[in-house]
Amino acid sequence: MSSKENKINDFVVRFANVNGTGSASANYLFAKAIFRMGIPVTPKNIFPSNIQGLPTWYEVRISEKGYLGRREGIDFVVAVNPQSMLHDVASVKPGGYFLYDSSKNLHSQYIREDINYIGVPLMELCNKEFTDARQRQLFKNTVYVGALAALFDIEFSALEGILAEQFKGKEKLIAPNLKALKMGVDYIHANYKYPLELRVERRDLIGDSIMIDGNSACGLGAVYAGATVAAWYPITPSTSVVEAFSSYSEEFRVNKITGKKNVAIVQAEDELAAIGMVIGANWNGARSFTATSGPGLSLMNEFLGLAYFAEVPTVLIDVQRTGPSTGMPTRTQQSDILEAAYASHGDTKHVLLFPSTPKECFDMTAEAFDLAELLQTPVIMLTDLDLGMNDHVSPPFVWDDKRDYNRGKVLDEVALEKIVKFGRYLDVDNDGITYRTYPGTHPTKGSFFTRGTSRDEYATYSEDGGAYQHNMDRLIKKFNTAKNLVPAPQVYNTKNKSEIGILFFGTSQYAAEEAIDLLKEKQISVDAIRIKAFPFNQTVTDFINSHNTIFVIEQNRDAQMKSLLMIELEADPKKLISVLNYDGMSITADNILNQISKHLSPAAPKKKAPIAKKEKIK
Amino acid sequence: MSYIRPKFRHPELPKNKLGYTIDHYEGSLSTLCAGCGHDSISAGILQACFEMNIEPHKLAKLSGIGCSSKTPAYLLGNSHGFNSVHGRMPSVATGANLANRDLIYLGVSGDGDTASIGMGQFVHVIRRNLNMLYIVMNNGCYGLTKGQDSATADRGSKNKSGNVNAFESIDLASLAIELGATFVAQSFSGDKKQLVPLIKAAFKHPGFAFINVISPCVTFNNNVGSTKSYDYVRHHIEATSTIDFVPEMKTITAEYSEGTSKNVKMHDGSYISLNKLSKDWDPLDRVSATNAVLNARAKNEILTGLLYMNPDCNDLHNLLQTSDRPLNSLTKEDLCPGSEILKTINADLR
């Protein structure tokens, strides 16, 4: 293979924009066109916590091999933000390309000898062709997409098709957009050699995959799962979960004749109220959920303890962002694991789900409602900003029409008639899960008092230590029952091939799978497991027990998953080697590879640092 | 501890239209202090439910944390109850109500639970006009933690330890009117004649109904110098209690006798004044009601009875346009778009 061929369908393009200038839809057009050409692509939005005027980047990785994680090293920068231009010039790999607006001369400070410059007079072209100020601004973005289409050999018909869909109902906008695209194409054709070595070629690698963000998938999953009450408080990056739920509900839950809705969505006054409403609705027999991020999860702790102890089904989608406190609200992280697992004071444990793809966001949201009602406890789905807010190539959504909602152990009027004495917290089936009733079921049977205080098996207030302990033990029994109800981990090899294992979850999957291949190239074979849920089941224990070294890949500083494995499985901490990433950007395969390689073949031992003299105490 | 009430009842207890005697509406035995005003309010609630022929299982009772929030256990034993977390009953009630619009929702709270930790949720449940009865058993102090002043303790009021409260009190009734609550009433725990009809009217109100019931704490706020002293209120309640009947909502204004007021002098020179609705006051007019409450406060009077109501209001379900069928009764067939639609969604995402 010549080096030229290596650059087909394998590079990273980064767009440097100013937020609020309409670049998002142009950049999306670029990524989607490549997707339409059957080539795996992964776009990432790197945006500020701001509405207008600050730098924002859109990074698109194109990977013939189907690696959908982020990759270090930028091959091509589209620089239309003067604010960040120094940084953007520096970010280009040697030999890479730098596309800029050549309406004005490029200042010498931006000149590097080792990269290629492509000037397109975006402003000049747009000022000549468009009169409206907003259009002049907007179409600059479309012109550079046109230029890229020429440079990378993107099929123009793919761009045309997406534009037609984007402007469905606003058809008169199609023509000026096409014009702007062509302006970019024509300028390249007239002034540069095209296409570049870096370019795309149609493939058939996408199959029936779809492209969607995880938050939308969660919202859709909640519609399919039969959620009828959503209560939430806006917080980045979770906001679009309920927004998606709302817009899908407008489509599928509104009676066309009466206009009445089979759904209630309430924007609460804060996260405490949001989770309170969810608990109230679930208590009363409606499927209800909320979506939030770290700060919201902190606020919801007290109520989660109530739902755990009073055993009220609750579904919470936590789209994690970089903490602690307000942290970096528009950057990704997997750092709410311990907070979620043990949310609230006292002895509590919660069921956690870790989706990796939009399809899993859909599936696990639907499953979360079944699990919450089966187990009568909070189920917290831990997704993250990367999965939630970025578009991902994902397997398509699937729904089996034969699938029923599993509402768990609920007694109706007929069942209550047959019971001599109803015990809300009586473990009849010996699985730790007891029977509940909805308010209003029976005139004289089945009513009980739900409370956060201790009670006996018949829901009567009790300060009896024995009754309390019996109940707490039953809750653990229930949690053990959950181990085999939650999604099982994905084990990559059915038979172990190595003494080394790698363990990961959530969005680290993309980079981890790529890292496995990179390690293989270095003749290092590893086994792998992806955790999909907490509590951990036996498969996780077996995987840890059957490997000498397990690299635990996670996107936080404190190795929270490792802690959870140590606490819950009593896994030997010496075996668990952390591979961490916590700069707010999603983890890359190179990063994983470097950390693992460093551990496996440490550089020649450095001279020991002289032992510090003991401080004399005077 | 919960106690079991003796089962024996007089065989000729009157029955309501459902065939239930009043004991069908009782709960477990109260564990509050002997003589606590809260128990009188509980008795008023179950009396109202009995007289209104409410099916107990069609009512859900919710509360937060505190002495007052314990009371739902002591009434309506055949109703589902939810003793939630401190100050958060409104949100739980909101979720419950959204799930099933066909039940009656009774929320019981206290002055700490509402005016301090729960102020945010109280304010917002009013904004949403949730169809519920929200009763505050207001004693001006924290009973369960032994008598600290609450945010409704009047400035200048002396507590059991002899401390004089330096802070302005929060007047929940006028706040509720200001926030747009659609039914606001005020009463005394000892004035069952007034309270029962008010509760009945509140249950009938098709939106958020708020009753602030002053319910002196016999153990921690019954001392000389307290403006919520139970003895003084009880001693004078007869003289001020003229309401024994709440008419149909549409004629409610016409039935009030005008202008009786009673001042109760306290040892320290302050007084409580009980005041019935006066002639120049229209409970259907929010501005007029606000003026009346403020005027009364300026004179150190506490107005009782119905203060304000808006009978033609839209509750949260109407505002959200939820289906007439309770959301918790909808099935997969009603809710799930199905696999064929999912295929088209997938196609749109390619």
Instruction: Judge: B345–A397 Cβ closer than 8 Å, yes or no.
Output: yes
What's the number of domains chain A is made of? 4
Q: Domain check: are A110 and A250 in the same one?
A: no
- Average pLDDT in chain A: 94
Q: Domain check: are A35 and A155 in the same one?
A: yes
Q: Which residues contact A187 (CB under 8 A, 6 or more apart)?
A: A120, A121, A125, A143, A146, A147
Give the residue from A333, A341, A246 showing the smallest Cα distance to A581: A333
Peptide bond into A195 cis (omega under 30): yes
| Lowest model confidence (mean pLDDT) among A168-182, A508-522, B145-159 | B145-159
* Beta strands at A576-580 and A549-554: parallel, antiparallel or unpaired: parallel
Are A354 and A553 in contact by the 8 Å Cβ rule? The answer is: no
Backbone phi, then psi, for A588, in 5-degree steps? -110, 160
Say yes or no: A533 contacts chain B, CB-CB below 8 A: no
What's the number of domains chain B is made of? 1
Contacting residues of A for B62, CB less than 8 Å apart: 280
Shortest alpha-carbon distance between residue A463 and chain B (Å): 7
Other residues' Cβ atoms within 10 Å of the Cβ of residue A244: 23
Q: What is the CATH number of the domain that holds B131?
A: 3.40.50.970
Q: Is A610 inside any structural domain? A: no
Q: What is the CATH number of the domain that holds A60?
A: 3.40.920.10
Q: Is B37 inside any structural domain? A: yes
The DSSP output letter for A485 is: T
Give the residue from A191, A216, A448, A435 showing the smallest Cα distance to A319: A216
Among A191, A222, A238, identify where a domain stops: A191
Q: Domain check: are A363 and A461 in the same one?
A: no
Q: Domain check: are A263 and A366 in the same one?
A: yes
Q: What is the CATH number of the domain that holds A321?
A: 3.40.50.970
* Rounded Cα gap, residues A609 and B198, in angstroms: 82
Shortest alpha-carbon distance between residue B124 and chain A (Å): 7
The pLDDT, as a whole number, for residue B294 is 85
Q: Domain check: are A160 and A304 in the same one?
A: no
Residues constituting chain B: 350
A367-387 exposure pattern, b = at least 16 Cβ within 10 A, e = fewer: bbbbbbbbbbbbbbbbbbbbb
Full domain range(s) for residue B112: 22-322
User: Model confidence over B31-64: pLDDT tens digits?
Assistant: 999 888 899 999 999 999 999 999 999 999 999 9
Q: Is A616 inside any structural domain? A: no
Q: Which amino acid is located at A572 in the chain? A: D
The pLDDT, as a whole number, for residue B288 is 85
Beta bridge partners of A37: none
Q: Domain check: are A258 and A289 in the same one?
A: yes
Q: Is B111 inside any structural domain? A: yes
Q: Is B346 inside any structural domain? A: no
- Average pLDDT in chain B: 84
Distances (CA, A) of B210 to A86, A440, A531, B94, B109: 62, 23, 50, 15, 11
A-interface mutation test, from B23, B83, B132, B329, most A Cβ less than 10 A away: B83
Q: Domain check: are A388 and A418 in the same one?
A: no
User: Model confidence over A428-475: pLDDT tens digits?
Assistant: 999 999 999 999 999 999 999 999 999 999 999 999 999 999 999 999
Q: Is B347 inside any structural domain? A: no
ipTM of the prediction: 0.94
Q: Is A429 inside any structural domain? A: yes
User: What share of residues in chain A are helix, strand, coil (percent, to 5)?
Assistant: 40, 20, 40
Please name the member of B80, B83, B342 whose beta carbon is closest to the beta carbon of A452: B83
Please name the member of B56, B95, B341 whose beta carbon is closest to the beta carbon of A277: B95
The pLDDT, as a whole number, for residue B302 is 77
Q: Domain check: are A383 and A418 in the same one?
A: no
Q: Is it the case that residue B278 has pLDDT exceeding 80?
A: no
Q: Domain check: are A419 and A290 in the same one?
A: no
Q: Domain check: are A15 and A128 in the same one?
A: yes
Q: Is A130 inside any structural domain? A: yes
Contacting residues of B for A223, CB less than 8 Å apart: 335-337
The pLDDT, as a whole number, for residue B279 is 62
Torsion of the alpha carbons at B229, B230, B235 and B240, rounded to the nearest 10:
90
Q: Is it the case that residue B111 has pLDDT exceeding 80?
A: yes
Q: Domain check: are A471 and A498 in the same one?
A: no
Q: Is A614 inside any structural domain? A: no
Q: Domain check: are A479 and A495 in the same one?
A: no
Please name the member of B83, B100, B339 whose beta carbon is closest to the beta carbon of A401: B339
* Rounded Cα gap, residues B25 and B52, in angstroms: 12
Instruction: Quickly state the pLDDT bin for A157 (edges 50, 70, 90).
Output: very high
Peptide bond into A535 cis (omega under 30): yes
Full domain range(s) for residue A321: 212-394
